């Protein structure tokens, strides 16, 4: 395999900054959502994605993609949300082998009520501390890193 391509000082600093962000931001957003709405960030994202659909319904595989979660993680979260009466799982009318998640009225009310506090936290922790160029750069970097993770294995 040969000698690894070690990170130079700037690359190492960028990596450590990203690691710090990956641990601190989700924890802060989870804490806010748990305190204010009894939801963790992943649960909130599931409910939020469903709430933005005209019929509050999405196929589970599409929903997993939108929330960047594995099918098994999403399935476990959907089970918890079903037990709380926030989501129903229904067969896909076009193909019974697939299922849809449907946001209930209670789920809609919860996510709509949680949204203002969540947006305020996102503004406080991320958006308001950046200028327009930094927001655009953050978006580009976020998408590029996520695309790199999703890309098939390739040699470094």
Q: CATH number of the domain that 48 lies in?
A: 1.10.10.10
What's the confidence (pLDDT) of residue 153? 66
The reply to whether 129 falls in a domain is yes
- pTM as predicted: 0.90
User: pLDDT by residue (tens digit) across 42-92?
Assistant: 999 999 999 999 899 999 999 999 999 999 999 999 999 999 999 999 998
Q: Using an 8 Å Cβ cutoff, are 76 and 70 in contact?
A: no
Q: Is residue 11 part of a domain?
A: no
Structure tokens, 59: 């196929």
- What are the tens digits of pLDDT across the range 121-136? 999 999 999 999 999 9
pLDDT band for position 120 (50/70/90)?
A: very high
Domains identified in the chain, total number: 1
* Full domain range(s) for residue 91: 29-142
Residue 76 CA to residue 88 CA, distance in Å, equals 13
pLDDT at 93 over 90: no
Position 4 in a domain: no
Tracing tokens 């979660």 back to the chain, one arrives at: 69
């Amino acid at each position: 395999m040969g000698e690894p391509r070690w990170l130079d000082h700037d690359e190492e600093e960028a990596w450590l900054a990203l690691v710090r962000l990956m641990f601190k931001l989700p924890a802060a957003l989870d804490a806010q959502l748990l305190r204010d709405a009894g939801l963790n960030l992943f649960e909130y994202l599931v409910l939020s994605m469903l709430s933005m659909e005209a019929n509050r319904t999405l196929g589970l595989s599409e929903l997993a993609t939108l929330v960047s979660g594995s099918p098994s993680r999403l399935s476990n979260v959907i089970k918890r949300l079903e037990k709380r009466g926030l989501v129903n799982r229904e067969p896909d009318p076009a193909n019974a082998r697939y299922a849809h998640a449907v946001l209930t009225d209670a789920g809609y009310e919860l996510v709509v009520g949680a949204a203002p506090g969540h947006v305020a936290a996102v503004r406080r922790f991320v958006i308001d501390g950046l200028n327009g160029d930094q927001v655009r750069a953050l978006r580009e970097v976020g998408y590029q890193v996520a695309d790199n993770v999703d890309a098939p294995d390739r040699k470094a």
